[in-house]
Structure formats: C-alpha cells, structure tokens
Copies of this chain bind each other. A is one copy, B any other.
Amino acid sequence: MALSNKGIRHLSRVLFKNPAVNFQVASLSTSKKNGATAQQVLTLDSMNPSVKNIEYAVRGPIVIRASQLKQELADGVEKPFKEVIFSNIGDAHAMGQQYNTFLRQVVALCVYPELLNLDSFPEDAKLRARRILEGCGGNSVGAYSASSGIDVIRQDVTKYIEERDGIPNSCDVNDIFLSTGASDGVVAILKLLVAGEGASRTGVMIPIPQYPLYSASVAELDAAMVPYYLNEESNWSLDVDELQRAYDAAADSCKPKVLCVINPGNPTGQVLSYDNIVDIIKFAKKNSLFLMADEVYQDNVYAENCAFHSFKKVLLHLGEGYMDQVELVSFHSMSKGYMGECGFRGGYMETFNINPGVKEQLIKLVSTKLCPPILGQAAMDVAVNPPQPHEPSYELFIKEKNDVLNSLATKAKLTAKMFNQTPGITCNEVQGAMYSFPQIHLPAAAIEEAESKNMAPDAFYAFQLLENTGICVVPGSGFGQKPGTYHFRMTILPPTEKMDSLFESFRKFHMEFLEKYST
C-alpha cells in the first residue's frame, strides 16, 4: 500500500517546517521510489465488518456537506443563501433556544462552589447544589460517582417517576441507572440482549421509520433487525397486527426477543394513546418480548387531544400477569423536553421486572465506563426535582419552561400546516417530539435521475434542497420508510421569526424542483 495522503502531509510537514527533526528522516521521494511501505494493519478490508455496516443518517453525508457549506459561506464564497439552517438534529440550543436559568445556576454552583457565597444566587438553587455536592465523593463533581449514578439524584428520579405516573411507592431506586444521554442506556440494554447465531440470533423489533441509533446499534452488535412499519395513513400509529406480521415474518430467520417503541415518536412525532400502549404490552407478553420504551420526548406533547402515558404506568395498571412479568426498560434524557441540554449528556433508564442476576451483569457492564458525567447527572436532578411553588425560583422556572414548550407547540402546528399547503407534500400532525416527517411525492424523472446517480431519491432531493436553500434536513431513507415512499425529517426548532422565510425559501425550491422534473 502506498503512503496515505495523511502520511505524506505529516512527512512533508516535519520535513519542511521543522529543521530539528529534518536530519532524522530520509526524504519522502526516496521512500516513495522504494515503494517499501508496509501493509497497514487496519484497513477497510481488515476492520470490524459490523462497524462498517453501521449507518447513522442524523450525522451522515448531508450534514458533513452542510458543515462545508457553512465554512464556505464564512470564507466569503457566493451561495444562493445567506446561512445554513441545521434542521437535521434535535439540538435546541444550537438553534437559539435559551438555557433554563435555574438549571444552569445549580450546575454552576456545583462546578465552582465558591459561588455559594454569592447573594445573587437564589437559595433554592444553592440548596440543590449543596445536596448534590454532599452526594459526591469528597463533595466534588470531580469525583467518580457510583456507576449507576449519584444516590440522591437517583432517589429524585424515583420521586419524579412516581409523581409523573401518579402511583406512589411504585419505583425502586435500585432500578434507576443514570446514563450518558439516553443513547448510552439503549446501547447497554441491547448489549445484554444480543446472543446466539443464525436462526437463534436475537431479533430486535424496531419501528420504521425509526431513530437510527437503533439500527446502528443492532448492526454493530450483529443482532437481527425486525422492522415493523408505523401507519402513515393514520398519523403514524402503531398497529398491533403489523407487529404480529413483522414478528411472524422474522421468526424463521432469528429469535425476536426485543420490542423497541419510541413514544412520542422520532422521527414521526406521533403520541401513543393509552389503549394503544395496553395493546402493545399485551402483544409483548403474548410473544415473550422484552420491552424497550424510548420516552425521551415525554415533555414534548403538543396536540390538544394527546397526552403522554409511560409504559411503566400502563404496565402497573394492567396488574397481575403484567406488572409482575413483562420486562421493561424505559429511557429519558436531558437533551430534549424544555431543557434541550444535549451537550450535558445526561439521562437515565428505569429497569423493571429485570432478572436480578442480569441486573448485576448490567451494573458490571456500566461500571466498565466508570460513571456518567457528573454535571449531566446534576442537570438531570434539576429536571426531576424542579423548583416548587413556595420556592424563590419557581415563577421564573415555570415561565421559561412554558415559553419553550409553547413555542415548540406553535412551530409544530405551523410546520405541518406549511407543508400541507405545498403541492406534492403531505405531512401528518406533529403531535409530539421535535420533528416533522413529511412525505414528498417525487416526479418519476427525479427518481430516475437520483437512481442514475446511485442516490436514494429522497437523499437526492435533500441534497438539492441544501445546495439551493441552505436548509439541512435528513433524508427519510436514513430512518427507513415503506418502499416507494419518500420523506425527510425536519426539526421544528428553527426560531419562530425565521420560520416564515424558511418555508418561503423551501416552497420556492420545491416548486422549481417539481417543475424541473415534471415533464
């Protein structure tokens, strides 16, 4: 194998810029003439094939191109747009959402306890910071915590869950594991579940469309993906007959053992009804499936006729035969909700009806990572233990929280409305989460041209959209979709004041695209 570009870059740098080292190395040209470079150990051929099989569209090629365009704009290159709008990822702060004051005050006090002496910090923030610090080794956020998280924060999580579900004393602190965002927890649980080979390989039922963490993890762990389709015609509902169809279709090629549900849905934004969850749990029990409930958008419900119901709550309501048997892990995160604190990498999972021996294995597994980031844990504590009405920060906290959630609700409605007013686009109601997932009805000529370029038609569309408007969305093919349908995921996060011009520029592009390819 010849010298890599990087090798050459390094060599020439050392050769030409650093006389101190220059004498120690022979010239690059000699090396190339000799052709004596060794075979690389780690190549695309020799590397782990399971890692190669991973796809992760949310940070895929279109996002890389968007970052290039941003840099080109900064460098003064002329473009048909003035800024790149990153609507590809649920990254609220990057889109201008302001932090929650109380949350940041508590974390800052934990980071630099000298601030506890300042009168400008409210007493309720100081109270929480002191309590968190007392839970830390050496009273410092610089110490590792237990691998499952700081005890007082885990206790606060149990209280939060009990109040959320309206079922006192239903949550055991030993079932709570703080995590590095929700992704970290999801991967840990999937790791426990994969086993077997060939037809006895673990099958993981995943919604289509899905958040690509699931398909990526299943690929990396070499498990079998068992896709079930959400029903776009009835607002991305989850139909138990379809679950059964998917289960039966997979039963010969793997052993379906896990059912993943994302509620509210990502990228699809639907919110499951109570009765729907009852049916899903019954299906899981009937088919001996381990339930994984991704509930990171539990605070993000916008539609008037919808409410969030946790799988845990419904499981408890179902009583004996369910509450004592169905194995469930549910996930939550700091990154979504009104907090939007993605950068903190905070989250938790709650295990329920998990085999005690397996839970010991889970504790061992997470201990190899030592512990989740302490400041992500501290931030999570504020989310599950917010200021109460009698506390000084209550009013500001609630105002900031409601401002964020109300604005998201407004943009959720606006987004679906704007798309549905555009010819060739249909978009379901965004009941919850942070995304619209409109269907684009592409002209045959556009599909042909995409295929001639070896691109998924919706990726072709999304790249055109990006190059012409600066709007970065993720092609539906990155989440999965019914064959012959095309979508994209766009966040509802751009600032309200930019929404009108965003849709104007989108609509202009879309109409020109339709015109160009409609013969």
Chain A residues close to B by CB (< 8 Å)? 3-11, 13-14, 17-18, 20-21, 24-26, 28, 30-31, 36-44, 46-49, 51-52, 54, 56, 58-59, 67, 86, 89, 91-97, 99, 104-105, 107-108, 111-112, 115, 136-138, 140-147, 166-170, 172, 174-175, 180-181, 183-184, 191-195, 213, 216-217, 220, 257-258, 285, 288-290, 316-321, 323-325, 327, 339-345, 352-358, 361, 364-365, 367-376
Contact = CB atoms under 8 A, between A and B. Distances in A.
A217 to B, nearest CB: 7
B140 A93 contact: yes
Contacts of A36: 321
A184 B345 CA distance: 14
A68 to B, nearest CB: 13
A365 B51 CA distance: 7
Nearest to A140: B93
B137 A93 contact: yes
Nearest to A376: B373
A344 B374 contact: yes
Given A144-B343, A373-B376, 15 more contacts: A13-B169, A14-B167, A41-B290, A42-B193, A44-B357, A46-B195, A47-B193, A47-B195, A47-B358, A52-B361, A94-B144, A99-B142, A141-B344, A142-B342, A180-B373
Contacts of A91: 137, 143-144
A144 B417 CA distance: 29
A83 to B, nearest CB: 13
Given A48-B194, A320-B31, A343-B142, A104 B94 contact: no
Given A24-B317, A43-B355, A144 B327 contact: no
Contacts of A140: 93-94, 99, 343
A368 B180 contact: no
A170 B356 CA distance: 52
Contact of A17 (B111, B169, B352): B169
B373 A14 contact: no
The list of the 4 closest CB pairs from A to B, nearest first, reads A94-B137, A343-B374, A25-B319, A108-B112
A257 B96 CA distance: 47
A101 B117 CA distance: 15
A286 to B, nearest CB: 10
B94 A319 contact: no
A237 to B, nearest CB: 25
B342 A48 contact: no
Contacts of A369: 180-181, 183-184
A344 B373 contact: yes
Contact of A111 (B108, B138, B175): B108
Residue among A51, A91, A147, A352 facing the most chain B CB atoms (10 A cut-off):
A51
Contact of A108 (B42, B115, B194): B115
Contact of A324 (B3, B49, B95): B3
A40 B327 contact: yes
Given A38-B285, A59-B367, A354-B42, A93 B52 contact: no
B144 A353 contact: no
Contacts of A325: 7, 37-38
B195 A96 contact: no
A345 B7 CA distance: 31
B21 A317 contact: yes
A54 to B, nearest CB: 6
Given A26-B319, A91-B137, A180-B180, A40 B170 contact: no
A108 B24 CA distance: 45
Nearest to A64: B363
A193 B355 CA distance: 33
Contacts of A59: 147, 364, 367, 370
B355 A42 contact: yes
A143 B14 contact: no
A92 B26 CA distance: 45
Given A18-B169, A289-B41, A319-B25, A344 B180 contact: no
Given A99-B140, A108-B108, A54 B364 contact: yes
B108 A7 contact: no
Given A112-B105, A169-B14, A325-B37, A47 B372 contact: no
A372 B358 CA distance: 28
A3 to B, nearest CB: 6
Contacts of A184: 369
A202 to B, nearest CB: 8
Contacts of A356: 4-6
B5 A167 contact: no
B25 A323 contact: yes
A25 B320 CA distance: 5
